[in-house]
């Protein structure tokens, strides 16, 4: 069930009404929201609702055991078991085929034949996201930062439909306390919610899907048919597409949660205005960046050891972060590139960006490093990525028939929007909130009609659904 569809709009209208009618009855509200979230997830494939239930019950059992146990040895065994079960489920569904293919390829290169069976396993949508949420819950309980929630509360937390499929990765410490008291419908930040939903629809339908269908998909599928100029524009276009697509999902999810009375953490903050790769990861997929730092980088030792160990921990974190995105070596390369650039930045003296020119250079370099890495992220295979890079460097004599003015305009808007300040957005929201309900409705209707007129026919799945 995709957000920008009539089906989801109908579903959300029912949930919105039920949410506020049952808010005064906490237990009924929890059962209603759990049923709605399972229905939403089951709309993709009902078989995987059982997997979500298994994950919920298993992690709650580990959490209860962790809270009740006084022995540090037992607690370490329990947290190790929780991590093993969660990563085992994720590994089976997401990485089984990848590891079997890698083993077979290695054996063939040595003149041997592999015998491991290769099964066709369907990847449950959103498994990476709800697995990381479950892990943050049990790890926070192990670290005594969070108390065990009632099982029904934890089930709603893990399945809560706005962010279930593609984030943000909301921690138990951020969402579970919001379940404890009824929300007040008079305190809904409706202006921000409608702004986020509208801007999310615009980014997804007008920019991301347009760039994908007009240039990106064709160039990355067959780079040999395009000139260097066309490939360069397509690479820039993909940088804009993935930002517009993924941030659109986060915007809509945060907006929907606000309409239901809940607050999610922000997930994007103008990442292409970053002045370094480190700054980029403070702005891009913020909830994943925090998760990797708090639960992986710190667990590996963080920066508590020597300089060499700190650099190792940084590189391992980014390599594993790349692998989290997909079961392919190209994602590992993507993560590795970011890891190497972060290591390089850590060794450099702190830069002073005290002039417009130094700020511009820092942003330009960061954007192009990020954009180059996206080539491996987007290419359908490692070899296609190298083909694309080779033609980008060698085919400058060709034409640029595939590059059109609307494509260049969409790229310019996607990048230019990164430089709209939050103060300007807050000013616009304040002006919108002071309008009469009729004027607000009319303005929203006009925006939606404009989006519908500019959008492609049909809605493509969000990019991060595959992760």
Any idea what DSSP says for residue 170? -
Q: Which of 285, 293, 325, 368 is catalytic?
A: 325
Please enumerate in sequence order all residues whose Cβ is within 8 A of that of 3, keeping only pairs 6 or more positions apart, or say none.
200, 201, 204, 249, 252, 256
- The Cα–Cα gap between 444 and 437 comes to 10
d(CA 242, CA 209): 10
191's enclosing H/E stretch is helix 190-201
**Burial class of residue 259 in the structure, from the number of CB atoms within 10 Å of its CB (0-12 exposed, 13-18 middle, 19+ buried):** buried
Report the length, in residues, of the chain. Answer: 467
For the chain, give percent helix, strand, coil, nearest 5: 75, 0, 25
Tokens 């909830």 correspond to: 287
CA angle 301, 69, 178 (to 5 degrees): 75
DSSP secondary-structure letter at 421? -
Please write down the HEC assignment for all residues of 68-105: HCCCHHHHHHHHHHHHHHHHHHHHHHHHHHHHHHHHHH
* Tokens at 386, concatenated: 């190298």
285 given a catalytic annotation: no
Taking residue 450's Cβ as centre, other Cβ atoms within 10 Å add up to 13
Q: 3-class SS at 188?
A: coil
CA dist., res. 242 & res. 248, Å (int): 10
The C-alpha R_g of the chain, in whole angstroms, comes to 23
Dist. CA 417–CA 223, nearest whole Å: 29
DSSP track, 309-320: HHHHHHHHHHHH
What does the angle CA 270 – CA 161 – CA 266 come to, to the nearest 5 degrees? Answer: 20
Query: Which residues, at least 6 apart from 291, have a Cβ–Cβ distance to it below 8 Å?
Result: 132, 136, 169
**Nearest CA to 377 among 303, 300, 456, 284?**
284
Active-site residues: which are they? Answer: 325
């Amino acid at each position: 069930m995709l957000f920008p569809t009539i089906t989801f709009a109908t579903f959300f209208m029912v949930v919105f009404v039920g949410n506020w009618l049952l808010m005064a009855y906490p237990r009924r509200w929890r059962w209603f929201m759990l049923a709605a979230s399972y229905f939403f997830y089951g709309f993709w494939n009902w078989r995987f609702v059982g997997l979500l239930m298994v994950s919920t019950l298993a992690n709650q059992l580990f959490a209860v055991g962790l809270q009740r146990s006084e022995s540090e040895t037992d607690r370490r065994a329990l947290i190790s078991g929780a991590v093993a079960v969660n990563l085992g489920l994720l590994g089976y569904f997401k990485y089984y085929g990848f590891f079997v293919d890698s083993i077979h390829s290695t054996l063939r290169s040595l003149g041997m034949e592999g015998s491991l069976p290769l099964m066709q396993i369907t990847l449950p949508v959103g498994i990476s996201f709800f697995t990381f949420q479950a892990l943050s819950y049990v790890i926070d309980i192990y670290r005594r930062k969070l108390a065990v929630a009632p099982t029904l509360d934890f089930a709603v937390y893990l399945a809560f439909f706005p962010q279930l499929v593609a984030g943000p990765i909301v921690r138990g410490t951020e969402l579970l306390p919001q379940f404890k008291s009824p929300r007040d419908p008079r305190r809904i930040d409706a202006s921000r919610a409608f702004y986020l939903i509208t801007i999310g629809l615009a980014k997804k339908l007008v920019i991301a899907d347009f760039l994908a269908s007009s240039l990106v998909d064709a160039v990355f599928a067959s780079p040999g048919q395009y000139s260097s100029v066309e490939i360069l524009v397509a690479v820039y276009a993909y940088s804009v597409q993935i930002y517009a697509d993924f941030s659109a999902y986060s915007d809509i999810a945060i907006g929907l949660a606000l309409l239901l009375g809940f607050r999610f953490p922000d997930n994007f903050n103008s990442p292409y205005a970053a002045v370094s790769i480190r700054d980029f990861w403070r702005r891009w997929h913020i909830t994943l960046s925090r998760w990797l730092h708090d639960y992986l980088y710190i667990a590996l030792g963080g920066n508590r050891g020597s300089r060499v160990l700190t650099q190792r921990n940084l590189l391992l974190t980014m390599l594993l972060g790349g692998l989290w995105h997909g079961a392919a070596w190209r994602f590992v390369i993507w993560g590795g590139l970011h890891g190497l650039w972060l290591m390089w930045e850590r060794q450099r003296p702190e830069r002073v960006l005290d002039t417009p020119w130094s700020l511009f250079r820092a942003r330009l370099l960061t954007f192009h490093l990020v954009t180059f890495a996206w080539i491996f992220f987007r290419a359908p295979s490692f070899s296609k990525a190298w083909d694309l890079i080779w033609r980008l460097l060698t085919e400058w004599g060709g034409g640029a028939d595939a590059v059109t003015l609307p494509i260049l305009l969409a790229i310019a808007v996607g990048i230019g929007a990164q430089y709209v300040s939050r103060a300007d957005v807050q000013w616009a929201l304040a002006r919108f909130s002071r309008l009469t309900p009729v004027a607000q409705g009319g303005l929203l209707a006009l925006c939606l009609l404009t989006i519908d007129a500019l959008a492609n026919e049909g809605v493509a799945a969000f990019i991060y659904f595959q992760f």
